[in-house]
Each structure stands twice: as C-alpha cells, then as structure tokens.
Amino acid sequence: MTERVVLAYSGGLDTSVAIGWIAEETGAEVIAVAVDVGQGGEDLDVIRKRALACGAVEAEVADAKDEFAEEYCLPAIKANALYMDRYPLVSALSRPVIVKHLVAAARQHGAGTVAHGCTGKGNDQVRFEAGISSLAPDLTCIAPVRDYAMTRDRAIAFCEAKGLPIATTRKSPYSIDQNVFGRAVETGFLEDIWNAPIEDVYEYTSDPATPREADEVIITFEKGVPVAIDGEPVTVLQAVQRLNERAGAHGVGRIDMVEDRLVGIKSREVYEAPGAIALITAHQELESVTVERELARYKRQVEQRWGELVYDGLWFSPLKRALDGFIAEANEQVSGEIRMTLHGGRAVVTGRRSRQSLYDFNLATYDTGDTFDQSLSKGFIEIFGMSSKIAAKRDLRQ
C-alpha cells in the first residue's frame, strides 16, 4: 500500500504546492484537510476542488466554527486568557482544533504522516507537532517549507511548471492568520517596530478615531458562558460574531505588541479581536462581583499559566487539562449581566448585576444603614500586622 500523508490545507499557494512537492519528495499520496474556524474567504467546496486539482487523492473539508467556539474559544473566555496580558490567543486557539481533525483524517485514511505549512521560526510548527504527538504519538510530522526548503520563489516556479490552478502574481505585503476569534497580521513594513500600523492592516475593526455614536450592550453569562446579548439568546459562536460586528465597529480589540515567541525570538504582531476582548472584559468584571477573594487571587495566577501553555502549543498536556478543571470550578458562580459601552476603541463596563453577587450594599455603603462593625477593625489590624511589626523592631535594634 502506498504511504499516505495528511496535509493541513488552507487553499493558498504554499499548501497547494505542498501537495505535489510532498508527493515528489516522499512518493506518498496526499490527503488534504481544510478546517473552517471562521476564517472567511473562499467557499470550502472551492478549496476542496482546488486540492484535488493540485494532485490530492482525497480532500476533506470540515465546518468547525461551532466546535471551535464552544470547545476552544469558550475556555479562553473563562480563563480570561491574555498572553503577556494583552493577546487573546487568536491563532494559538485554532491550532488544536485543526490538529484534532488532522489526526482523525490520518486514522480514517491510514496515513502515517501529517504535514503542515509552517516555517521553522514560528510558534505554529510547535503547536501542530506537539498537538499531533499528544493525540497520536505514532504519527510523524513533516513541514515542506521548513524541512525541504520550499521557499516562496521555488513554490511559484513549481506551481508554474506543473500548471497548478493557483494565482502567483499577487502577494500581500503581510502574513495574515484569522478566524472567528480574531485576526493576526505580521511581516512587511510591520517588522520595523518603529513603524505605526496603517488602516489597511485592519479588517475586523473600524478606525476608533472616527466620530460615531456609542453602542451600549448587555451580555448575560451563566457559569462563565455568554448566553445572551441584549436579552436575546445566543450560542458562543453567535456571541463572538455579534460582538465582532458591534465592538469592531468602534475599533475595540486592536493590539499592537512585541511578543515573546516560544522559539526565543521577539516578534512584532498586530491583532484585532473585538469580540474576544469585549467578552473577556465583561467576563473579568462579572468575576470581580461573583468570585470570592482568595479564589480570584489564585485564579489570576492560573490564568497566566493557562495562557502560556496554550500559546506554547500544549493544549493537550496534562497540566492544561488539570487547570481546565480548576477554571471550570471557579466559573460555577459566574452568572449575571454586564452592561458595556463600546466607543472609541474601548469596551467600558458601566453596570453589573448578579444573583450570585458577593457585593453587599449594606456592608459597602458609608451612608446611614451601614452594617459594617468598624470597631472590629482595630484588633484585626493589630493581629494582621503583628509579624511585620515584630520584624521591624528587630531590624531597628541592628
């Protein structure tokens, strides 16, 4: 039986050329697998037909938008996941769902190898290969761009020589990755970190400096899950999509940062994630109302580690699974409504209400009706500061 290779297929130049390239380099048959995580662009059936026209023996397409939103974006919302306190893991979240479909296709078609189009200096090569090895340790991985020096110039020459149905003349100045949770832009003039982004970099968001009326939105959560927008029930996918539109119209979710890649280099990235930022902002605020202090403090530590694991491609790791359990438990009381104003590039919380609220007006108020017994505070402070006081006396004697 001829060896088979499952290829993560996007429909673009590199992965289209990779079909024939892999066949020539390895003698294997190629099965192309395209996964729709809300990246937009061409119809998946068109992409499937292109893969077959480029030499794939089989081509599969999977509509994974709801799966991506429910099983990957939602955990990130519950975790308030922001890598380096800013990046909502747009690309990192999509890789494990793609990996899951690649492994399933390899099993179905009897393939022993999975291929992807990543370079040797990015994070995605790690995310694909670490994920595949976690789900299927017996499979091997290849990356034509990295392993066979498949440069763009060589890819174009191969495409033209074979008469492949791929446009090769137009080249975007940017490298772009996008899905329903957001959009990542890099390379081109952005590699000079002194250069400011220009408006044609953005697609999901409008210029926040353009005058427009503010938009007020109410987001309802149940146990950390967004279940309604302005009282209308929504799925997680619908919540992200609607807030992409509404928050994006006000320029919410633009991020320009230099981040620490897993491979050890720093990279300038421009992101836009209006729905993700609006939902995480709302979720964080509802947690501040409903989650007990010590649990909230510890969860913030867990959130950072969770985000690092996902960024580093360890979605299927034992630690990530264990932290998922903690985060799920921490969200048990995160139910209620958050009112936000979307305007001028910001999502600003203006109201909170929850039956699970730990906010007690009678304890918090300074007006008549205050039920807090202030006489207890003096003794509390004495005991609370005792160890520091004893240490200070010792230090003064020295």
**CATH code assigned at 70:** 3.40.50.620
3-class SS of residue 21:
helix
215 is catalytic: no
**95 and 40 share one domain:** yes
**180 and 156 share one domain:** no
Residue 14 known to bind ligand: yes
**202 and 154 share one domain:** no
The answer as to whether 296 is a domain residue is no
pLDDT value of position 9? 94
pLDDT value of position 167? 66
The answer as to whether 126 is a domain residue is yes
Residue 235 known to bind ligand: no
Residue 256 known to bind ligand: no
Residue 290 known to bind ligand: no
- What is the C-alpha to C-alpha distance for residues 251 and 337, in angstroms, rounded to an integer? 23
- What is the C-alpha to C-alpha distance for residues 132 and 275, in angstroms, rounded to an integer? 29
**40 and 130 share one domain:** yes
CA dihedral sign, ordered 165, 162, 3, 116: negative
**160 and 36 share one domain:** yes
Task: Give, for all 398 residues of the chain, the pLDDT tens digit.
Answer: 689 999 999 888 889 989 998 988 899 999 999 999 999 877 888 999 999 999 999 999 999 999 999 999 999 999 999 999 999 999 999 999 999 999 999 999 999 999 998 988 889 999 999 999 999 999 999 998 888 888 778 888 888 887 887 765 555 677 889 999 999 998 889 999 999 999 999 999 999 999 999 999 999 999 999 999 999 999 999 999 999 999 999 999 999 999 999 989 999 999 999 999 999 999 999 999 999 999 999 999 999 999 999 999 999 999 999 999 999 999 999 999 999 999 999 999 999 999 999 998 888 888 887 888 888 999 999 999 999 999 999 999 98
**194 and 337 share one domain:** yes
pLDDT value of position 122? 86
Domain hosting 275: range is: 176-291+333-353
124 is catalytic: yes
**259 and 164 share one domain:** no
Residue 271 known to bind ligand: yes
CB 6 within 8 A of CB 31: yes
Domain final residue pick, 171, 188, 205: 171
pTM over 0.75: yes
Give the amino acid at 266.
Answer: K
Count structural domains, the chain.
3
**345 and 208 share one domain:** yes
**11 and 158 share one domain:** yes
The answer as to whether 306 is a domain residue is no
Q: What angle do CA 226, 85, 295 make, to 5 degrees?
A: 60
**38 and 129 share one domain:** yes
pLDDT value of position 13? 83
Residue 15 known to bind ligand: yes
Name the catalytic one among 95, 183, 242, 268: 95
3-class SS of residue 13:
helix
The answer as to whether 302 is a domain residue is no
Domain final residue pick, 126, 156, 171: 171
Name the catalytic one among 4, 50, 94, 124: 124
pLDDT value of position 171? 59
**254 and 342 share one domain:** yes
Residue 57 CA: distances (Å) to CA of 33, 166, 293? 11, 18, 57
152 is catalytic: no
List all residues 6 or more positions away from 30 whose beta carbon is below 8 Å from its beta carbon.
4, 5, 6, 7, 18, 19, 22, 23, 55, 56, 57, 115
Q: Which residues pair with 4 in a beta bridge?
A: 29
The answer as to whether 260 is a domain residue is yes
Residue 335 known to bind ligand: no
pLDDT value of position 304? 98
95 is catalytic: yes
Name the catalytic one among 133, 175, 206, 317: 175
**163 and 37 share one domain:** yes
The answer as to whether 147 is a domain residue is yes
The answer as to whether 229 is a domain residue is yes
Residue 278 CA, chain-centre distance (Å), reads 14
Residue 202 known to bind ligand: no
The answer as to whether 73 is a domain residue is yes
Residue 82 known to bind ligand: no
Residue 359 CA, chain-centre distance (Å), reads 31
CATH number at 230 reads 3.90.1260.10
Domain final residue pick, 171, 194, 213: 171
What is the C-alpha R_g of the chain? Answer: 25
